[in-house]
Amino acid sequence: MDAHQLAELDDQQYEQLIVSNAHPPARDPEVWAALTDPSNLERTREIIVNVHQRTGNTLRTRKSKRDEFQQECFTRGEAGKRDWYESRAEYENWRRRAANFHQCMQRAISELSKLQRKVNRDSNMNLAQENRETLRKLSIAVQRHQAMRAKTGQIAAQEDYELWQLLDTLTVPCGPNQEPTALRTMLDFYWTDVTPVDDGQEQRALAERTMRSAPGGRSSQYEGVPKARHVGSRKNLAS
């Protein structure tokens, strides 16, 4: 029986399978694997917790009734005491079996809880990896946007500088000690391939560093420089 077939069972059938396989020596490995499959694990744990609670309630109720019966017997003198002692063996035998079953369910709950924590960790790890990969792609896109501006010599808007500065201010954990590392550092050392730098790339890198180091993220070199020039014109456009 696989996990999908198991999921189609009603709660009563499902519970019977859990009870039959809760004790490790009595387990059917295939059935237990289906019961603890991530798609069924939450349902399995919920049902076995209910069984455990019912057993605990039964033990307490039976114990309360047993105490009442003892008081009743002892008020009837020797005959009542005789009835009490004669019923003691049967009760103790039941109590021992019920307590063993209760403990078996408790151990199974602990086992399922460990499995659930592992599933949660794996799920969180996968989600973290997906988020990290998304952040990597976004950082590369921002870096390329900055490089394109530097390559073409376009005057960047303030919003561009604020966007580029996020590569220096936002961090992700990195290394054995999970130290906060800037996105730009991640791009330089981990997230992009390293290629030889030619003179043009070095000049663009210098322009990017100048842009990042200016107050407010904008280089003073570009302040007052017009956005267009008339080639061959004698007008002093920069004055």
When pLDDT is cut at 50, 70 and 90, the band that residue 7 belongs to is confident
When pLDDT is cut at 50, 70 and 90, the band that residue 149 belongs to is confident
Provide the greatest CA pair distance for the chain: 130
pLDDT at 112: 93
Give the tens place of pLDDT for each residue, 180-212: 898 888 888 888 764 544 556 556 666 666 655
* 207, 150 contact by CB (below 8 A): yes
Angle subtended at Cα 216 by Cα 230 and Cα 200, rounded to the nearest 5 degrees: 55
Residue 113 and residue 162 share a domain: no
Token pair of 207 as six digits: 């322009």
When pLDDT is cut at 50, 70 and 90, the band that residue 222 belongs to is very low
What global pTM score does this model have?
0.55
What Cα–Cα distance (Å) separates residue 58 from each residue in 68, 142, 198, 214? 15, 64, 81, 75
Residues 6+ apart with CB under 8 A from 75: none
Residue 176 and residue 91 share a domain: no
User: What is the residue-averaged pLDDT of the chain?
Assistant: 82
Give the tens place of pLDDT for each residue, 20-57: 999 999 999 999 999 999 999 999 999 999 999 999 99
Residue 236 in any domain: the answer is no
Residue 96 in any domain: the answer is yes
Residue 165 in any domain: the answer is yes
Residue 160 and residue 81 share a domain: no
Q: Which domain holds residue 91?
A: 3-128
State how many domains the chain has. Answer: 2
Tell whether the model's pLDDT for residue 219 goes beyond 50. no
Residue 238 in any domain: the answer is no
Residue 68 and residue 107 share a domain: yes
Distance CA 86, CA 89 (A): 7
